[in-house]
Amino acid sequence: MNPWVSDSIPVRSLPQESDDGHYLIKMERYRSYLGYPSTFVNYFGQLRMYSAVDFVLLLIMLNVRPIGMASVLTLWFGFLIFLEWLHRDSGRALWPAWAWLVCLVFGIWIYPHPCQMAVCATAFGYALKKIKWMGIFSPALIGLLKVFLVFPFSQSSLQVLLVVWFAMAVRNLCGDIRDAGKDFMNGQQTIPVAMGYRRNTKYVYPLALATTSFVWAVWGHLPIWSLGLAWTIQIATYRLTPR
């Protein structure tokens, strides 16, 4: 007996195996909503606050107003939720489809911009990274996604956009290096796997993340406490993402 499930839950409320072919998915979602102690942490971890706080430093560096920042972050969280909803990785609580749709609609509504069409297209392209060989293009795509998200606030500065693309692409590549062993076992092609690197390297991504945060803080002449706060949040939340 699971000690976290109340005996008062009626058996008829359980998904039935005869319902349809998605029984296991429905059962997983059912278990997620029962109030397991780790469920909230699981969802929260999937939002990758360690990455979001780095994004906040970048937006502050660009002098983005609160309404623009809210739009960018909402679209970013919507992208992450869409990614999790589509991939359904083992060990991660399942998101309903309406969650990413709400983020998408709200993010566009509060700060509409034509560039958001490119955001949606790039996000969808990145979501295909588990298709063989598509993972090789994922660092470039995530760099483009961040570029399109900040483009409305970059004053069309080519220097800013190139630095953002390069920094985010390299950081995503470090994430692929971190997961190279797992990706190889799952048959997923990424740049490290294609180059013959076949083992996990867990500290390379956190170091890259701390470095990009340092770049935004120094470039934007932000107070030292803001960088310290960002690093603290990154250390505190990085391990919350199920891997």
pLDDT tens series, the chain, 243 aa: 333 333 333 333 334 444 444 544 554 554 444 444 588 899 999 999 999 999 999 999 999 999 999 999 999 999 999 999 999 988 899 999 999 999 999 999 999 999 999 999 999 999 999 887 889 999 999 999 999 999 999 887 899 999 999 999 999 999 999 999 998 988 889 999 999 999 999 999 999 999 999 999 999 999 999 999 999 999 999 999 988
Instruction: Supply the pLDDT for residue 6.
Output: 32
Phi, psi values for residue 38, rounded to 5°: -90, -5
Per-residue confidence (pLDDT) for residue 19, from 0 to 100:
47
CB atoms within 10 A of CB 150: 21
Place of tokens 């998408």: 104
Which two tokens mark 43?
A: 């969802």
User: What per-residue confidence (pLDDT) applies to 28?
Assistant: 52
Q: How far apart are CA 170 and CA 139, in angstroms?
A: 7
Hunting for tokens 């290096």 — which residue is that? 177
pLDDT recorded at residue 132 = 79
Tens of pLDDT, residues 26-67: 545 544 444 445 888 999 999 999 999 999 999 999 999 999
Q: What is the pLDDT of residue 29?
A: 52
Q: Residue 7 is encoded by which pair of tokens?
A: 């005996």
CA distance 228 to 119: 30
Q: Which residue has the tokens 């029984």?
A: 23
Please state the pTM of the whole predicted model.
Answer: 0.83
Question: For position 188, what pLDDT does the model report?
Answer: 87
At residue 17, the pLDDT reads: 43
